[in-house]
C-alpha cells in the first residue's frame, strides 16, 4: 500500500504527466456529460430503452456508454469511425493507391486519415438514419417527418465527429489512445449497473449471495485468462554479429523478437461481429424475409450463431495476422542489421522459420480468442443477467484489458524516464495496443 501511494505522489510530481492525466479526465468528463444530452425533438419519457439493452444492440449500447438507449447526441459513439478505419485498412491491402499512401510516411498517413474522416461522415449519416427509424418510436418523436430524421442525422453525425475529435486530442495531449479510452470509459460506465442488476436478480432467486460470489470469482478468472492471452508472446532469439569500429566493439549480443500469441488483437471479433450483424439488418429492413435461418443468426445465444461466430473469428485471426505480420520483411531487416536466428540460415530460411512459428502460435491464439468471444453467450445460457454477461468476454473485455495495460505502460514510461520506480515492484508492464484500426486503437 505504501508503494502505491508513493507511486501516486511521483505521478503527481511530474508536471507533464499530471497535465496529461488531468486533460484526459476533462475530455472523458465532457464525453460522459454529452452522453446524457437527448436528441432535440425526442421525448425521453417515451423511449423504449429495454429493447436497446438486449442482444446485439446491448453490445452497441455498452460501447456507447448507454448513449444508444438514451437517444443521446453521442448515441452512435465512435463505432462509425472504427468501421471507416477498418474499410480504409482493407483498401490498403487491395487497392494500389492506398498501398502507395501507406509507404509515403507522414504525408501518406495524413491523406489516409483524411479519407477515413470523410468515410466516417458518410457511414455515420447512414447509420443515423437507420438508428432514428429503428430505435426511436413515433410516440417519442416531437417533430414531424422528414424534419425529425434530417435534423437527427445532422446532430448524430456532428456528435460522432466531436467524439472522434475528443479522442484525437486525448491521443495528442493526454495519456493513452483517445479512441480506446472513450470506448473503455463507456464500457466501465455500464459495469456498476450490470453488477447491481445481477446482484438484485440473484438475491431474489435461488442461490442468493453464494451464486453472486461465484459469478464474481468466475469473472475474475476470465479476466486473468484474458490477460494471459493478451500478454502471451513467443520469443525468437536473434544473434547479432560482432563489429569492431576503432577501439570499440558493437553487436555480439542476443536479443529476441516477441511474437504475440494474439497478434490480431480484437480485430477478428470486430470483423466477425460486423458480418453477424447482416442477418439482423436484413430482418429489420425486410420483415417479410424473416425465416428460421435468419432467426437463428439473430439470436446470439443459439448454437448456430456461436459456432459460426467462433469459426469466423478463427479464420479472421489467421487473415489479419497474415496481413499485419510480415515474416519476409522481418527477415530482411535482420539480415541488413547483421542479425540471424541461431541454427537458421539468413534470408528465405529465416522468413520461413518465422512464418512457421507464427502459424503454430496463431492457431491456439485464435481458438482462445473465439472462446473469449462466446463467453458472454455461455454466461447468459447459464443464467447470468445479459447486462452483466457482456463483461465475461468478447470485445468489451479485450478492450478493457488492452487499454488498461497500454495506459499503465505509458504512465510507467513517464516514471522511468524521470528515474522513478515503475508501477510494479518486479518487472515492467508489457502493455499492448488494442484494436488497431487505421492507426487508431479501439
String of DSSP letters for 39-89: PTTB-GGG--TTGGGSHHHHHHHHHTTTHHHHTBTTTTTTHHHHHHHHHHH
Give the C-alpha separation, 183 to 185, whole Å.
Answer: 6
Give the C-alpha separation, 404 to 176, whole Å.
Answer: 9
Both 163 and 263 in one domain: the answer is no
Q: How open is the CA angle 151-88-431, to the nearest 5 degrees? A: 105
Nearest CA among 35, 64, 30, 267 for reference residue 165? 30
User: Which triple of cell numbers denotes residue 112?
Assistant: 489516409
Both 155 and 211 in one domain: the answer is no
| pLDDT given for residue 158 in this prediction | 92
**Does residue 181 form part of some domain?**
no
Both 18 and 143 in one domain: the answer is yes
| pLDDT given for residue 54 in this prediction | 57
**Does residue 198 form part of some domain?**
no
| pLDDT given for residue 247 in this prediction | 61
| pLDDT given for residue 4 in this prediction | 60
What pLDDT, in 10s, does the model give residues 313-330?
Answer: 898 888 888 877 888 888
What pLDDT, in 10s, does the model give residues 230-272?
Answer: 888 888 888 877 666 666 655 566 788 888 888 887 778 877 8
Both 141 and 234 in one domain: the answer is no
Cis ω on the peptide bond leading into residue 146 (within 30° of 0)?
A: yes
Q: Give the domain CATH number at 85.
A: 1.10.3370.10
Give the C-alpha separation, 156 to 64, whole Å.
Answer: 13
Coil, strand, or helix at residue 260?
strand
Domain that holds residue 274: 205-435
Angle between helices 147-173 and 106-135 (to 10 degrees): 140
Please state the separation of Cα 416 from the chain's center in Å.
27
What burial class does residue 387 get, using C-beta atoms within 10 Å of its C-beta: 0-12 exposed, 13-18 middle, 19+ buried?
Answer: buried
**Does residue 194 form part of some domain?**
no
**Does residue 197 form part of some domain?**
no
Domain final residue, candidates 174, 193, 221: 174
Both 326 and 240 in one domain: the answer is yes
| pLDDT given for residue 437 in this prediction | 42
**Does residue 179 form part of some domain?**
no
Task: Render the burial of 266-285: b for 16+ CB within 10 Å, e for the rest.
Answer: bbbbbbbbeebbebbeebee
| pLDDT given for residue 23 in this prediction | 92
Both 400 and 316 in one domain: the answer is yes
| pLDDT given for residue 57 in this prediction | 67
Both 354 and 278 in one domain: the answer is yes
Give the C-alpha separation, 20 to 411, whole Å.
Answer: 10
| pLDDT given for residue 237 in this prediction | 86
Both 155 and 289 in one domain: the answer is no
- Please list the ranges in the chain whose pLDDT falls under 50: 432-442
Task: Render the burial of 154-193: b for 16+ CB within 10 Å, e for the rest.
Answer: ebbbebbbebbebbbebbeebbbbbbbbbbbbbbbbbbee
**Are 211 and 202 in contact, with CB atoms under 8 Å apart?**
yes
**Are 35 and 70 in contact, with CB atoms under 8 Å apart?**
yes
Place of cell 492525466: 21
Amino acid at each position: 500500500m505504501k508503494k502505491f501511494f508513493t507511486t501516486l505522489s511521483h505521478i503527481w510530481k511530474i508536471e507533464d504527466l499530471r497535465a496529461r492525466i488531468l486533460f484526459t479526465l476533462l475530455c472523458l468528463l465532457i464525453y460522459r456529460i454529452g452522453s446524457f444530452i437527448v436528441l432535440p425533438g425526442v421525448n425521453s419519457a417515451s423511449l423504449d430503452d429495454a429493447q436497446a439493452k438486449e442482444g446485439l444492440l446491448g453490445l452497441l449500447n455498452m460501447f456507447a456508454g448507454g448513449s444508444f438507449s438514451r437517444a443521446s447526441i453521442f448515441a452512435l459513439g465512435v463505432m462509425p469511425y472504427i468501421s471507416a478505419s477498418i474499410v480504409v485498412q482493407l483498401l490498403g491491402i487491395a487497392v494500389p493507391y492506398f498501398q502507395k499512401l501507406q509507404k509515403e510516411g507522414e504525408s501518406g498517413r495524413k491523406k489516409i486519415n483524411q479519407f477515413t474522416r470523410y468515410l466516417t461522415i458518410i457511414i455515420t449519416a447512414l447509420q443515423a438514419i437507420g438508428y432514428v427509424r429503428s430505435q426511436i418510436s413515433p410516440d417519442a418523436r416531437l417533430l414531424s417527418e422528414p424534419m425529425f430524421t434530417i435534423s437527427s442525422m445532422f446532430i448524430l453525425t456532428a456528435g460522432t465527429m466531436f467524439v472522434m475529435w475528443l479522442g484525437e486530442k486525448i491521443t495528442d495531449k493526454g495519456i493513452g489512445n483517445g479512441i480506446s479510452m472513450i470506448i473503455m470509459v463507456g464500457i466501465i460506465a455500464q459495469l456498476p449497473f450490470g453488477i447491481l442488476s445481477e446482484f438484485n436478480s440473484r438475491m431474489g432467486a435461488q442461490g442468493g449471495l453464494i451464486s453472486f460470489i461465484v459469478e464474481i470469482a468466475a469473472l475474475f478468472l476470465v479476466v486473468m485468462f484474458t490477460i494471459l492471452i493478451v500478454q502471451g508472446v513467443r520469443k525468437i532469439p536473434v544473434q547479432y554479429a560482432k563489429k569492431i569500429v576503432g577501439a570499440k566493439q558493437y553487436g555480439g549480443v542476443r536479443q529476441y523478437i516477441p511474437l504475440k500469441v494474439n497478434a490480431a488483437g480484437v480485430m477478428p471479433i470486430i470483423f466477425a461481429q460486423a458480418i453477424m450483424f447482416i442477418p439482423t439488418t436484413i430482418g429489420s429492413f425486410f420483415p417479410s424475409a424473416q425465416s428460421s435461418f435468419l432467426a437463428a443468426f439473430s439470436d446470439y445465444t443459439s448454437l448456430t450463431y456461436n459456432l459460426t461466430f467462433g469459426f469466423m473469428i478463427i479464420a479472421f485471426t489467421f487473415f489479419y495476422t497474415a496481413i499485419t505480420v510480415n515474416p519476409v520483411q522481418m527477415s530482411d531487416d535482420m539480415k541488413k542489421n547483421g542479425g540471424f536466428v541461431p541454427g537458421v540460415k539468413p534470408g528465405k530460411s529465416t522468413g520461413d522459420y518465422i512464418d512457421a512459428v507464427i502459424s503454430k502460435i496463431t492457431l491456439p491464439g485464435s481458438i482462445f480468442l473465439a472462446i473469449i468471444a462466446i463467453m458472454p453467450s455461455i454466461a447468459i445460457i447459464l443464467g447470468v443477467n445479459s447486462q452483466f454477461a457482456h463483461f465475461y468476454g468478447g470485445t468489451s473485455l479485450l478492450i478493457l484489458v488492452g487499454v488498461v495495460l497500454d495506459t499503465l505502460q505509458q504512465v510507467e514510461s513517464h516514471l522511468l524516464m524521470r528515474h522513478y520506480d515503475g508501477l510494479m515492484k518486479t518487472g515492467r508492464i508489457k502493455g499492448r495496443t488494442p484494436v488497431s484500426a487505421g492507426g487508431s486503437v479501439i
